[in-house]
Structure 1
């Protein structure tokens, strides 16, 4: 099933997971997938792991999700791939019955020389469309506060429109902690003529190092309310986890009340966190 078809029927609610590290058996994540699938998300997306180097493990994990009766989307970062690499992955995805791809440029890995077939995610999207027609539903990433590599937010929205025109039929946002930033972003995308569904990406904070790392990577701003939570509970992992879950729930309730197209939870492979949030908001979906 193509996840883009869900938005006409309901508010979409989805999860993200990552594959295990290379030195761990892929089966180590299977119990997590089982627990997450029991929560009945509309789909579960699978990253390529740290630095986008998950390789075939992304397909393995996505295939497992399909076998659990849950729809899935495979991340496909292209910075380290050439056209033949992508063709091979597309064939593998088709073989496993996976119809949804989150097409990304990906982050540069310091010790790997990037390839040059795909300079931008929009190049990858165009290539997938040219190679496969409408066989795949292509999801794009978007950045409510602008991608760090973009000159400014408007330039990033202009690039986002190119992604959509290339063939992305839905978007998932980078994490954010200030809903006002997301609503402002939606207004700007509407003015730019971007009319595909946009899911809001929400990351429940479970430890201080995690959020400091993510903010460094993606540049998300931290509202004063959130900073106070970090200051007050940052020394206590359990308290911060519970406060982070509560903050995420508040964000989601506000987003749903304002008619958001969907909510995508960055679960960090934690069924406990996903279950707490799902239980709190499922009657609102």
Structure 2
């Protein structure tokens, strides 16, 4: 089963040193297929993404930089693709991204399928292209039907596989897979996994990105108050059980949103006997 891990670019020297240690722990224990590195809206963390990707690649591990097209130009994307190709990078996570605060227009790209098509036209089959999937619907989608259609268009534009937004209801994932298959999608759709370590942070993230935290999970988290140990223990049980449901039913892999931490991802993997 394919495992992968997402990082965000550190902003300080201390953060970079910590991430280096986290990456080494995860690489040794999990042997992931790749580490992905996020890219801020309008390229706000572009330099950090490039530096982090370069370090991962030079350490002998596969790196997959995120590319966000909203607010960017074809020339800028072309330049980034050339830089990554020159480095020897052969995997890209292609995303629409959010319009940066204060920016009034999208730029030359409006949707991720346009970015996927552009990458293919510029670099042919050099890059393995991952795109995003939303089992519980993109927060800006008109309807679930429209969202699955847009997803299918992305896949047909040249994507090789997809990574989902995180979720806590496995039925949402399997229903999405079935609906995408009816539209001809046969590429792997890998579930994104968010460890639960901080209830306030999780609920804030989830409200912002449209990920549903089931009521029973919200209530249990609220009942723990500031008891961090209980929150982490409960979160570990919930997420391990979710991953078990997914892998037993044939999910092609797991993509961990690490938040630049090693312990939670490693603990889930241990519970699943992946280490």
Aligned length: 274
Structure 1, unaligned runs of 5 or more: 1-10
Do residues 276 (structure 1) and 267 (structure 2) align? yes
CA distance in 1, matches of 2:215, 2:183: 30
Q: Residues 103 and 121 of structure 1 are in contact (CA less than 8 Å); yes or no, is this contact kept in structure 2?
A: yes
1:37-186 superposed matches below 5 A: 37-39=27-29, 40-49=31-40, 53-186=44-177
CA distance in 2, matches of 1:158, 1:267: 29
CA apart distance, 1:232: 2.2
How many angstroms apart in 1 are the aligned matches of 2:179 and 2:216?
Answer: 25
Give every structure 1 segment of 4 or more consecutive aligned residues whose post-TM-superposition deviation is greater than 6 Å. 22-25
Identify the residue that residue 216 of structure 1 maps to in structure 2: 207
Structure 1 window deviating more from structure 2 (40-49 vs 110-119): it is 110-119
Q: Is the 8 A contact 1:100 1:136 kept in 2?
A: yes
Equivalent residues in 2 for 1:254-273 (5 A)? 254-273=245-264
Do the aligned partners of 1:75 and 1:103 also contact (CA within 8 Å) in 2? yes
Q: RMSD value over aligned CA atoms?
A: 1.9
8 Å contact 2:258–2:265 — kept in the other structure? Answer: yes
TM-score (norm 1): 0.90
**Partner of 1:34 in structure 2?**
24
Q: Deviations over 1:24-82 (max 9, x none)?
A: 77455322222222221221111125775210211221222222332221100111210
Is residue 13 from structure 1 mapped to residue 3 from structure 2 by the alignment?
A: yes
CA contact (8 A) 2:236 2:268 kept: yes
For residue 194 of structure 1, report the CA deviation from its aligned partner.
Answer: 0.9
Distance (Å, rounded) in 1 between the aligned partners of 2:221 and 2:10:
28
Q: Secondary structure at the match of 1:38?
A: helix
Q: Quick check: 2:197–2:228 contact (8 Å CA) kept in 1?
A: yes
- Residue 218 and residue 170 in structure 1: after superposition, are their counterparts in 2 closer, same or farther (change >3 A)? same
**CA 1:176–1:52 in 2, change beyond 3 Å: closer, same or farther?**
farther
Structure 1 window deviating more from structure 2 (151-160 vs 223-232): it is: 223-232
Counterpart-to-counterpart distance in 2, 1:170 and 1:74: 15
2:191 corresponding residue in structure 1: 200
Go from structure 1 to structure 2 and tell me whether the alpha carbon gap of 1:220 and 1:242 turns closer, same or farther (over 3 Å shift). same
Deviations 1:244-277 (A, max 9, x none): 1221111001111101111111111111112111
Give the Cα–Cα distance (whole angstroms) in 2 for the partners of residues 262 and 101 of structure 1.
Answer: 17
* Higher alpha-carbon deviation: 135-144 or 69-78: 69-78
Greater mean deviation of Cα atoms: 42-51 or 153-162: 42-51
Structure 2: 5+ residue stretches without partners: none
